[in-house]
Amino acid sequence: MAEAPNGDVEFRNAIMDVFLKYPEAQRRYALASLELENEMDIDFETQVGYSRIDGNKIITEFRDRDTSVKARICLKWNFDYSRCLHWRQAEM
């Protein structure tokens, strides 16, 4: 992780230390960049991602936060777990 693409080497090394301390978490979690969402100008205050599996693809749509979805599972939280950024639509 010495050559982090966006220069956050210290941050990424700290995250790597956490994964080394909790190896069981390595298969459940990953460090994700919001680069694509930022490029799309997604405003997580007013929008949220919803994903579904379609064959071998993961399809993500961004909707207004007030959009009603009956069953969902949070996939990505913000840094302090106070807001879900990305939901998966649960099987109905």
What predicted TM-score, i.e. pTM, was given to this entire model? 0.66
Per-residue confidence (pLDDT) for residue 50, from 0 to 100: 87
Question: In this predicted model, what pLDDT tens digit does every residue of 19-47 receive, in sequence order?
Answer: 999 999 888 888 788 889 999 999 998 99
> Mean pLDDT across the chain, nearest whole number?
83
- % of the chain exceeding 90 in pLDDT: 28
Name the range with the highest mean pLDDT among 4-18, 45-59, 65-79.
45-59
Note whether 85 and 54 are same-domain residues. Answer: yes
Residue 62: which of 52, 53, 50 has the closest Cα?
A: 50
Note whether 43 and 25 are same-domain residues. Answer: no
Which uninterrupted H or E stretch holds 37?
Answer: helix 35-39
Note whether 21 and 41 are same-domain residues. Answer: no
Note whether 18 and 41 are same-domain residues. Answer: no
> Where does the pLDDT of residue 2 fall: very low under 50, low under 70, confident under 90, or very high at 90 and above?
very low
Per-residue confidence (pLDDT) for residue 26, from 0 to 100: 85
Note whether 40 and 79 are same-domain residues. Answer: yes
Q: Which domain holds residue 42?
A: 32-92
Per-residue confidence (pLDDT) for residue 70, from 0 to 100: 63
Split into its structural domains, the chain has a count of: 2
Residue 54, phi-psi category: left (phi > 0), alpha (psi -120 to 50), beta (remainder)? beta
Note whether 48 and 23 are same-domain residues. Answer: no
